Every structure is written in structure tokens, then in C-alpha cells.
Amino acid sequence: MESVARAIVSLGALAESRPVAALAAAFSQAGRELALVGGPVRDAFLGRAVTDLDFTTNARPEEIIALVTPISSAQWDIGREFGTIAARIAGQTVEITTYRADSYDGESRKPVVAFGDSLEDDLQRRDFTINAMALRLPERVLVDPWGGVEDLVARRIATPGAPEVSFGDDPLRMMRAARFTSQLDFTVAPATVAAMAAMASRIGKISVERVADELSKLLKTDDPVPGIRLLVETGIAQLVLPEVPALRLEVDEHAHHKDVYEHSLTVLQQAISLEKSRAADGAAPDLVLRIAALLHDIGKPSTRRIEGGGVVTFHHHDVVGAKLAGRRLKTLHFDNDTIAAASRLIELHLRFFGYTDAAWTDSAVRRYVRDAGDQLERLHILTRADVTTRNVRKADRLSFAYDDLEERVAAIAEAEGIAAVRPDLDGEQIMEILGIRPGREVGEAYRFLLELRLDEGPLDPEAAEERLREWHAAR
């Protein structure tokens, strides 16, 4: 098979690399076992670039440090109690972990850490068969007791042994299965899916930080939609992100052939495509944009109304959705910047659609930029991605309209510098001109000048001062 032959070549090259060869020689001379394990072996079979080098050994942590110190430029303790030591060898960071034989009490999500003596037993406790393969070094013998190669060829995600046992040991593995579905474009074995659905409630034992981290990893994949679908279908999303499955019952007013759930997944995919087309090479996935795209319509279920003639409306779902998103992201312990940015995008995502109804003045364009602030580029992408209609003429009309808006934003920005809209006079100048002290009146004058700037564009200092004095005198 091509994938197996490719893996043999790739793994051979890895084994011959300086850091791996140096490690293999040091452990072999000391009479200790060493194996390249997990992700690097899997990725070699998949033809993916191997960026992490993870090893496992029967040596204990203190002995690992003693063995790597002579051949490395740095060593550090990642988690000695878990048996993991890191080192820098020939310019490459490696992690070496003692064989593990952890046990779980069935109630706590935290294992009782125990070191093991067998590579096969260590592989048995890993999450999925495709991650439970190892390459013994320096012998270069593939160890695959759970059929990981077969599952790789079949593009299947399954657990070593019974999935109920694996998910009972660490329920977060259920979310990890969803992430691998998207990350690798694999499907999950039916028995594994059934176990996920039956054990979904176990996710409640996982800390919100770990849940949020796994959700973030899923959203950062090239196509998170398959993983999201799996979380929804198994009931896990109902526990960690309930606003998403709630969308399945609603009808999208823009395209009646889709419910809001399908619309939202399409918007997410389109936003990712636009993000990639606009991003610099090597740019990291934009988590804020992807969160906003997935959650942009979560205000619809609570704002759904049936009007005369059976017309479905969702008035103010943008504002309601922004509040709901903020609460959910706060519950998941996302950082404040992410919460604020994603919520703001959701709040603003409908603003553009009035542009096609009537020509915007330059003042309206300035206010659009002002309101978007540092989220303007993300808002451009989200607004474009929100068009999922199958009506080609309508889609083209909206696309051309947004092209026009972006061109106007760029033209006004070049002429007026509206990237950061500020009044033509600052607080110090206001106080000096009006002869007033710091206080509410200064803030009112500042807001007056800001509105003037948005309505009329930039003024020279003399004109701005004259208008300020007129405003103050009229008060």
C-alpha cells in the first residue's frame, strides 16, 4: 500500500535524523527501551509533516534526565510526576515520557498516575488506535497492537479496546474524536459514536478550561463542520455549546431551504475560506472570527416570531445573540478580549444589509468603521460569509454592494484617515479653548466633536475650534 510504503520511508528518515539517532543510541547503550510514539508515527502514515517528536521509555524521569543531559543543550521538567521530560537536541525539541499504567476510579476524571514497564500496556491507555502506534528504536520495529494502521487506511477513528472504558477514563476523548474527524477528515467508528452518545453527560466532569481548549482546537481546523455535527448528533454540544443545537429548529429568513443550523455551518465554512484568501502565508487560524461565524445567529430561537401571512421574523437577534455569545464564552472561561471581539462582531453582523436598500452617506460609512473599530476586517469577512442564498442574482447583488462599501471605506480612509476616528481636538485642547476644568462638560464637548467628525469628515483646527465655541455658546 502506498501509505505504508510512504510511512516506512518517512519513519526511516526520522530515525536517521540527528536528534532521534542520538536519543536512540543513548538509551540503547544504557539498556533502556525507547520508542517514537503517537502523533509522529500517525502523521508519517498520513504523509503529514512531523513537527513534534514524542518518545516513550521504560526509564524513570530521573534516569531520562541523566541520559539526555550529555547530548542536549537544554533540559526541562514538563511534569515529572507524570513522567515527562523535555530536551533540546540538535536544535529539535523532544519530549520523553515514562511508560504509564494509570488507573481510574470511575468517578474522578483525574488518573492515579502509575509508571509502567511495558510499551504495549502504555499504548493500550492511549485515546485512539491511530495514536496507539510506536516505532521501537534503534530497531525500527513498528508496534501496533490495536490495528492503528488498518484504521488509518480505512480513515477511521476508534479506541483501543472498548470505547466505554476509554471515555470513562477521560471523557474529553469524546470531544477529541470530534476534533480528529475535522482535522484528519476521518469518520468515527459506529461503536465509538454510540458510546459518545451514551456517555455524553460525562463531559460534565471535565473542567471548562479543557472543554474550551478542545472546542478551540476544533474550530481552528481547516473544516470544523464535521466535528461540530458529531458533537451535535451525540448530544455533547447540548452540554458544552447548547446554543448551536438549538438552531436546528429554526428557519432562516434569508433562505427558506435551510434551517439556521445549516446556514450557520455554511457561514462558518465560507468565513474560513475568505479568511484564508485574505490572510498572509503562515497566519494562524482566526479563532475569534470562527466563533463569531458559528454563533452569529444564536439569537434567533428566542426572537423568532410569526407575523401576518406566516412570515417568520427574528427582530433584534443580532443584539440578543451578542449577549448570549458573551455569556456562553464567559462560562467557558474564554479571555475577555475574545469575548468582547466575538460579541461585537455578532452584534454588528446585520449592519451592512441596509446598504443595499439605500445609498449610504459618507457619514454612515464613517460610523460603520467607527463602530467596527479594530474588528473591521473580521466584519468584512463575516458579512460576506453570511450570504448563503442559492439565488445567484441576489448573491451577486450583495457581493457587488459589499465590494462597493469596502472601496468606499478604503477611499475615505486614505483621504481622511478614518482607521481610528477621533475628534479634531483632544481633551486638553477642549479645556484650553473653553477655559473649563476636567469633568462631564469636557466629555460632552468631545462627543460633540466626534459626531461632527463622523458627519462632515475632518476639519482644520481653526474650523474645529470655531464650531466648538458655537456649540458651547449655544448651551
Read off the CATH number of the domain in which 307 is found.
1.10.3210
What CA–CA distance (Å, rounded) separates 256 from 251? 6
Question: What pLDDT sits at residue 465?
Answer: 85
Q: Packing angle between helix 2-16 and helix 18-29, nearest 10 degrees?
A: 70
Q: Do 356 and 378 have their domain in common? A: yes
Q: Across all residues in the chain, what is the average pLDDT?
A: 88
**Separation of alpha carbons 300 and 99, rounded Å:** 50
Neighbours of 430 (CB within 10 A): 23
**Same-domain check for residues 139 and 179:** no
On whether both 82 and 110 belong to a single domain, the answer is yes
265 and 230 both lie in a single domain: no
Q: Pick the most confident of 72-81, 136-145, 457-466.
A: 136-145
Q: Half-sphere exposure of residue 177, counting CA atoms within 13 Å on the CB side? A: 35
Lowest mean pLDDT, pick from 21-30, 81-90, 224-233: 81-90
> Do 458 and 424 touch, CB atoms closer than 8 A?
yes
**What are 143-163's pLDDT values in tens digits?**
999 999 999 999 999 999 999
Label residue 255 by pLDDT band (50, 70, 90). very low
Q: Are residues 163 and 219 in the same domain?
A: yes
385 and 280, same domain (yes or no):
yes
162 shares a domain with 26:
no
**Which pTM does this prediction carry?**
0.84
Confidence of residue 252 (pLDDT cuts 50, 70, 90): very low
Quick one: 128 and 166 in the same domain? no
Q: Helices 172-184 and 225-233, interaxial angle, to 10°?
A: 150
Average pLDDT over residues 14-18: 86
How far is CA 9 from its chain centroid?
Answer: 33
Select from 103, 138, 154 the last residue of a domain: 154
Q: What's the burial of 39, exposed, middle or buried (CB within 10 Å: 0-12/13-18/19+)?
A: middle
Q: Which of 154, 174, 205 is the last residue of a domain?
A: 154
User: Is the bond leading into 224 cis (omega within 30 degrees of zero)?
Assistant: no
379 and 288 part of one domain: yes
Residue range(s) defining the domain that contains residue 45: 2-154
Residue 386 shares a structural domain with residue 264: yes
Q: What is the pLDDT of residue 170?
A: 93
Q: Which residue did the predictor score with more confidence, 469 or 234?
A: 234
Distance CA 374, CA 372 (A): 6
User: At 461, phi and psi to the nearest 5?
Assistant: -55, -40
DSSP letter string, 360-394:
PPHHHHHHHHHHHGGGHHHHHHHHHHT---S-HHH
What total of structural domains would you count in the chain? 4
pLDDT tens per residue, range 382-400: 999 999 888 888 888 888 8
Per-residue pLDDT at 205 exceeds 80: yes
Pull the grid cell for residue 283: 497566519
Grid cell 449577549 — which residue?
323
User: 1 pLDDT band (50/70/90 cuts)?
Assistant: low
If asked whether residues 284 and 412 sit together in one domain, one would say yes
Q: What is the mean pLDDT of residues 165-171?
A: 93
pLDDT at 395 (0 to 100): 86
Residue 8, classed as helix, strand or coil, is: helix
CATH of the domain at 215: 1.10.110.30
Taking the C-alpha atoms of residue 198 and residue 185, their distance in angstroms, rounded to an integer, is: 24
Share of the chain above pLDDT 90, in %: 58
Q: Are residues 289 and 386 in the same domain?
A: yes
CATH of the domain at 81: 3.30.460.10
143 φ/ψ angles, rounded to the nearest 5 degrees: -115, 115
Of the residues 420, 438, 455, the one at which a domain ends: 420
Q: For residue 415, what pLDDT is reported?
A: 67
435-472 pLDDT per residue, tens: 888 888 888 888 888 878 777 777 888 888 888 888 88
Give the DSSP letter string of 192-219. Answer: HHHHHHHTGGGGGGS-HHHHHHHHHHHH
